[in-house]
A and B are shown apart, each in its own frame.
Chain A
Amino acid sequence: MTDIIMGILEEGLTYAIMALGVYLTYRILNFPDLSVDGTFPLGGAVTAVLLQAGANPLLTLPVSFFAGAAAGMLTGLIHIKLRVRDLLSGIIMMTALYSLNLRIAGRANVPVFSRETIFDNAFLDKWVPAGVQPFLAVLFLFLIGMVMKRLLDWYLGTKSGFLLRAAGDNEALITSLAKDKGTVKIIGLSLSNAFVALSGCLYCQKSGFFEISTGTGTMVIGLASVIIGMKLFQKRTSVKATTAVIFGSIVYKTCVAAAISLGMAASDLKLITAVLFLLILAVSSGRKGKVTANA
């Protein structure tokens, strides 16, 4: 039981950082960015290669972050400078990244079981008591998740962050403020994809291997987490949107775990997940309806 909850938390917290990135583009910038399907494995590919080369696991975090930022910036440049539609620029970047990720990693599957990772290394083995070891991954992921959430909250509270929020809300105002809306979007996409790649980096270290196929469907998981989180946690309380997104990711992964536990035919797994997802949406929109009826 504890193990299952730990497993869900590990998955949920890892993907939560990706979901924060998706929240930034989808909710704040109002930009459906499909490049995340490529930047998530990009973080993994960069991480796997660095670990294979014997780099310090801590180094993989900033490197993935900046690799993701660069990819996001390219998506933005394609959209702004070449005037390609938002959805298409994401698709183009995602497609390009597929090959790029294979190039970076060298092959489709790179194991790092035998390497030191931030979750499993000689230092931790030496200094952390064995009883705490099983909870280390969750603890680390929680801490990193908190740092990233705080970072995002802080950024959204700065002048630059204000501009980003305004860009998703009302592009015309950005121009009125004598700022180039294109630049603002590029910054937003960079930041978002940096988060996504960092999540991919953690995912790779947690799983013990990089696998090219992990990117498929990242956007869907991110969107589901954002929507579940906002619907379920934000309406009722004064929970911050970023916190809600993290909860959303954990709830989404709980749905998947529940679907697995139901012991249904394997081929129905996605269907069960979809139904649980739908149930949450139905319940929360029902609540919204009530509130307006009361008002």
Chain B
Amino acid sequence: MLELRGIQKHYYPGTAHELCLFDHFDFTVGDQEFVTVVGSNGSGKTSLLNMICGSIPVDLGQIFLRGKDITAMPEHRRLKFIGRVFQNPAMGTCSGMTLLENLSLADNKGKPFGLKKGIDAKRISRYREALRELNLGLEENLDIPVGALSGGQRQALALLMSTMTPIDFLILDEHTAALDPGTAERIMELTDKIVKEKGITTIMVTHNLRYAVEYGTRLVMMHQGKVVMDRSDREKEQLKIDDILDKFNEISMGYAKEQNLQKY
């Protein structure tokens, strides 16, 4: 499904702060896999997502989606096949436009945005149905601006919008991090439901280890631009939060040791 081959990525090239984050990085995601990605800050999780989407360019290497080389494809063209939900609920919706308008926009993804009426009256009942499934009471409020919704409601809407049209790939960028625990839980359940129902290949970056363990079919831990732990299927099912924490400690100890060695 998705394959990153020999990726190299430097930050601040040519300056004293030059930082090599990825060096000969290879990564593959299989069809209908639901990968959860954990890792400390600066481990390269978000950079990985940004490289897949084309928000940042790679220095070297290739990215394939369904066997097609998309390395040189601009971001907005890649996103034809990719849906993305951000940490900030405001990023996935338009606050000044109504729910109906937002859904109509999302529904038209991949089709031309021409001079036809912005809202297709025939599809309103479908939108209402989709909203009902969120179980947030939004289906009665189609005409209120999205800016009036709560963060959780907006994030649910963003999730719905990004999966409305057929996509190959869903990217969840810490999409529950900005929500309160209760809401985060509901969004997570919703995510799982949508991903399973539609069978979308998904990568989810999260700081919540429990979500990483409970959801998905594969867990990946990243550190300094490398995959340091990769468990799928049965291995993943047996995985516990403590195992991950142990690994975390191991890595950071190693990191501290390295730092100390350098010091003396």
Are the C-beta atoms of A178 and B116 separated by less than 8 Å? no
Shortest distance from the beta carbon of A166 to any chain B beta carbon, whole Å: 5
Contact of B74 among A165, A168, A180 (CB under 8 A): A180
Q: Contacts A172-B86, A172-B91, A177-B106 known; A162 to B79 CB distance under 8 Å?
A: no
Are the C-beta atoms of B109 and A159 separated by less than 8 Å? no
Are the C-beta atoms of A178 and B110 separated by less than 8 Å? yes
| In the complex, residue of chain A having the shortest beta-carbon distance to the beta carbon of B145 | A169
Q: Is A231 positioned at the interface, with any CB of B under 8 Å from its CB?
A: no
Interface centre among B75, B96, B108 (most CB of A within 10 A): B96
Are the C-beta atoms of A180 and B91 separated by less than 8 Å? no
Are the C-beta atoms of A162 and B84 separated by less than 8 Å? no
Binds A, one of B40-48, B97-105, B234-242: B97-105
Q: Contacts A162-B101, A163-B105, A170-B93 known; A175 to B114 CB distance under 8 Å?
A: no
Are the C-beta atoms of B114 and A159 separated by less than 8 Å? yes
Are the C-beta atoms of A179 and B76 separated by less than 8 Å? yes
Q: Contacts A169-B95, A170-B95, A172-B91 known; A160 to B115 CB distance under 8 Å?
A: yes
Per DSSP, chain A at the interface is helix
Query: Residues 142-175 of chain A: 1 if any B CB is under 8 Å from the residue's CB, otherwise 0?
Result: 0000000000000101111111011011101111
Q: Is B30 positioned at the interface, with any CB of A under 8 Å from its CB?
A: no
Query: Residues 75-87 of chain B: 1 if any A CB is under 8 Å from the residue's CB, otherwise 0?
Result: 1110110011010
Q: How far is the CA of A178 from the CA of B167 in the complex (A)?
A: 11
Q: How far is the CA of A161 from the CA of B119 in the complex (A)?
A: 11
Shortest distance from the beta carbon of A187 to any chain B beta carbon, whole Å: 10
| B13-28 CB contacts (< 8 Å) to partner A | none
Q: Is B117 positioned at the interface, with any CB of A under 8 Å from its CB?
A: yes
Q: Is B94 positioned at the interface, with any CB of A under 8 Å from its CB?
A: yes
| In the complex, residue of chain A having the shortest beta-carbon distance to the beta carbon of B101 | A162
Contact of A166 among B79, B83, B105, B162 (CB under 8 A): B105
Q: Is B251 positioned at the interface, with any CB of A under 8 Å from its CB?
A: no
Q: How far is the CA of A166 from the CA of B101 in the complex (A)?
A: 10
Q: Is B56 positioned at the interface, with any CB of A under 8 Å from its CB?
A: no
Q: A159 contacts which chain B residues (CB < 8 A)?
A: 104, 108, 112-118
Q: Is A292 positioned at the interface, with any CB of B under 8 Å from its CB?
A: no
Q: Is B152 positioned at the interface, with any CB of A under 8 Å from its CB?
A: no
Q: Is A267 positioned at the interface, with any CB of B under 8 Å from its CB?
A: no
Shortest distance from the beta carbon of A162 to any chain B beta carbon, whole Å: 4
Q: How far is the CA of A179 from the CA of B79 in the complex (A)?
A: 9
Are the C-beta atoms of A163 and B113 separated by less than 8 Å? yes
Q: Is A79 positioned at the interface, with any CB of B under 8 Å from its CB?
A: no
Q: B76 contacts which chain A residues (CB < 8 A)?
A: 174-175, 178-181
Q: A175 contacts which chain B residues (CB < 8 A)?
A: 75-76, 79
Q: Is A176 positioned at the interface, with any CB of B under 8 Å from its CB?
A: yes
| In the complex, residue of chain A having the shortest beta-carbon distance to the beta carbon of B115 | A158
Q: A166 contacts which chain B residues (CB < 8 A)?
A: 94, 97, 105
How many residues of chain B are within 8 Å of chain A by beta carbon? 33
Q: Contacts A159-B113, A159-B114, A160-B114 known; A173 to B96 CB distance under 8 Å?
A: no
Q: A181 contacts which chain B residues (CB < 8 A)?
A: 76
Q: B80 contacts which chain A residues (CB < 8 A)?
A: 178
| A172-227 CB contacts (< 8 Å) to partner B | 172-181
| In the complex, residue of chain A having the shortest beta-carbon distance to the beta carbon of B105 | A162
Q: B39 contacts which chain A residues (CB < 8 A)?
A: none
Q: Is B90 positioned at the interface, with any CB of A under 8 Å from its CB?
A: yes
Q: How far is the CA of A180 from the CA of B78 in the complex (A)?
A: 11
Q: Is B216 positioned at the interface, with any CB of A under 8 Å from its CB?
A: no
Contact of A169 among B94, B117, B162 (CB under 8 A): B94
Are the C-beta atoms of B115 and A162 separated by less than 8 Å? no
Q: B75 contacts which chain A residues (CB < 8 A)?
A: 175
Shortest distance from the beta carbon of A159 to any chain B beta carbon, whole Å: 4
Are the C-beta atoms of A157 and B95 separated by less than 8 Å? no
Q: A179 contacts which chain B residues (CB < 8 A)?
A: 76, 113
Interface centre among A157, A162, A165 (most CB of B within 10 A): A162
Query: Residues 52-94 of chain B: 1 if any A CB is under 8 Å from the residue's CB, otherwise 0?
Result: 0000000000000000000000111101100110100011111
Q: How far is the CA of A162 from the CA of B194 in the complex (A)?
A: 26
Are the C-beta atoms of A176 and B113 separated by less than 8 Å? no
Are the C-beta atoms of A170 and B94 separated by less than 8 Å? yes
Q: List 17 A-B contacts (CB under 8 A).
A: A157-B117, A157-B118, A159-B113, A160-B114, A162-B101, A162-B105, A163-B105, A165-B101, A170-B93, A170-B94, A170-B95, A174-B76, A175-B79, A176-B84, A177-B109, A178-B76, A178-B77
Q: Apart from A157-B117, A162-B108, list 14 A-B contacts with CB within 8 A.
A: A155-B115, A158-B117, A162-B101, A162-B113, A163-B113, A166-B105, A169-B95, A170-B90, A172-B92, A173-B92, A175-B75, A175-B76, A175-B79, A178-B76
The 7 closest A-B pairs by CB, nearest first: A178-B80, A169-B94, A162-B118, A159-B113, A169-B96, A163-B113, A158-B115
